[in-house]
Amino acid sequence: MRSASKRNVLGIFIDAVDYEAAVEFVMRTAEEKRGAAISAVAVHGLMMGVLDREQKFRLNRFDLLAPDGQPVRWALNLLHHEKLPDRVYGPNLTLRVCARAAANGLPVYFYGSTREVLSALRGALERKCPGLRIVGMEPSKFRRLLPNEKAELVNRIRLSGAAITFVGLGCPRQEVFAFEFREALGMPILSVGAAFPFLAGLVPQAPLWMQDAGLEWLFRLVTEPRRLWRRYVYLNPAYLFLVALQALRISQFQTRERRPIGEVLYG
């Protein structure tokens, strides 16, 4: 059943939530030991669902899709008359969930990125969230997992005693991971994008004024032009154009989708 907070933005159901509601949802599902796929979605992640009907199928079955990017929050406010005062930024959501997990005695697991990033991330989180129990950190294999590797990964995470798993594989791989591992792990899985290297202090974050103005994409484009230029040059203008079509009611953006054929098993 679709959450009452979900709103159609270009055919993708985004939850009109703030930090407090998002954190409460994660804590509730963790304490209930219930599988849940959660992601903080920016323009890139949303557009992956717009352009790929199989990815739309996955995203529209997420338990929580929070508005990570300011342009996604603005679209919610414009199209659906929401009054969200702020976005739900992946790195900040990670810190808030970790702080609550520490207070509630809930162990956490981190999957994705590299050993270097995970090592620095552990140190940063231990300083910022005293008492946080990190029961596992595992780097990405940067390839598709074999079926037996998926089973072994599920077993490692479950045996660790973790109550929450954070995934940093990059979009759209991390959303595929959360969708496919949700039931097997039986706990909330948070897809948090670049939160791992950002919080580890290995990749610079945009100044706060640029984040608030929706210009984080420009900062990231300047700092990583070779990797990100296609994403921002093509997808950002396309997103603005499509949002305008929906705002003017030229297109209603139906949620038609296509069920994925088999598992992808990104790792």
Across the strands, what pairs with 129? none
pLDDT lower than 50: segments of the chain: 1
Tens digit of pLDDT for each residue in 197-215? 999 999 999 999 999 998 9
Residue 172: half-sphere exposure toward Cβ, Cα within 13 Å: 22
Q: Identify whether the C-beta of residue 82 lies closer than 8 Å to the C-beta of residue 7.
A: yes
Cβ contacts of 107 within 8 Å, gap of 6 or more: 101, 133, 134, 135, 160, 161, 162, 163, 164
pLDDT value of residue 54: 94
3-state DSSP assignment of residue 146? coil
Is the four-CA dihedral 45, 49, 54, 56 of positive or negative sign?
positive
How far apart are alpha carbons 70 and 214 in whole angstroms?
5
How far apart are alpha carbons 174 and 172 in whole angstroms?
6
Cβ contacts of 159 within 8 Å, gap of 6 or more: none
Dig out the tokens for 5 from the structure. Answer: 């907070």
pLDDT value of residue 131: 96
pLDDT value of residue 4: 63
Tens digit of pLDDT for each residue in 92-129? 999 999 999 999 999 999 999 999 999 999 999 999 99
How far apart are alpha carbons 135 and 139 in whole angstroms?
14
pLDDT value of residue 3: 61
Amino acid 240 reads: L
